[in-house]
Chains A and B, each alone.
Chain A
Amino acid sequence: MKRAVLILISLSVWATAVRADGDRIWSALVLATKEDPEKPVPESLTEMAPVIQKVFGFTSLYLLGEKKRNLVSGGEEWLVPSREFFFKVQCLSRQETAYNLRIELYRGEKLLLTTAVKLARGAPLYIRGPRWGEGQLIFLFEVQ
Chain B
Amino acid sequence: MKNSDPNDPPWDKTRALLREHLTAPPLPHPDFINSQVLETIRREGNPRPSAPLFPLRWLAWGGGTALGTAALLTAFFLPHDLSRHEDGFISHVLEARAESPQLSVTSFRAPDDRGVVLWVEGSEFIPANESVQ
Do residues A123 and B60 form an inter-chain contact, with CB atoms below 8 A? Answer: no
Q: Determine, out of B26-34, B46-54, B120-128, the stretch whose residues face the partner at the interface.
A: B120-128
- Residues of B with Cβ closer than 8 Å to A? 57, 60-61, 64, 67-68, 71-72, 74-75, 79, 82-83, 86, 88-100, 103, 105, 110-111, 113-120, 123-128, 130-133
Q: Smallest Cβ distance from B99 to chain A, in angstroms?
A: 5
Minimum CB distance partner of B108 in chain A: A55
Do residues B115 and A48 form an inter-chain contact, with CB atoms below 8 A? Answer: yes
Q: Which of A4, A12, A82 contacts B132 (CB 8 A)?
A: A82
For the complex, count residues of A whose C-beta is within 8 A of B: 57
Q: Which of B57, B71, B83, B111 contacts A55 (CB 8 A)?
A: B111
Q: Which of B92, B100, B117, B131 contacts A128 (CB 8 A)?
A: B117
Do residues A117 and B72 form an inter-chain contact, with CB atoms below 8 A? Answer: no
Supposing A4-B61, A123-B116 touch, asked if A137 and B91 sit within 8 A by C-beta, the answer is no
Do residues B114 and A130 form an inter-chain contact, with CB atoms below 8 A? Answer: no
Interface residues of B: mostly helix, strand, loop or mixed?
Answer: mixed
Do residues B89 and A98 form an inter-chain contact, with CB atoms below 8 A? Answer: yes
Minimum CB distance partner of A142 in chain B: B115
Separation of A11 and B68 alpha carbons in the complex (Å): 6
Separation of A65 and B86 alpha carbons in the complex (Å): 32
Q: Smallest Cβ distance from A94 to chain B, in angstroms?
A: 12
Q: Which 7 A-B pairs have the closest CB atoms?
A: A133-B128, A130-B123, A97-B88, A15-B71, A123-B91, A115-B96, A116-B95
Show 16 A/B contacts (Cβ-Cβ < 8 Å), sorted by A: A19-B75, A22-B79, A100-B94, A113-B96, A113-B97, A113-B105, A113-B120, A115-B118, A116-B93, A118-B92, A123-B116, A124-B114, A126-B118, A127-B117, A127-B118, A127-B120
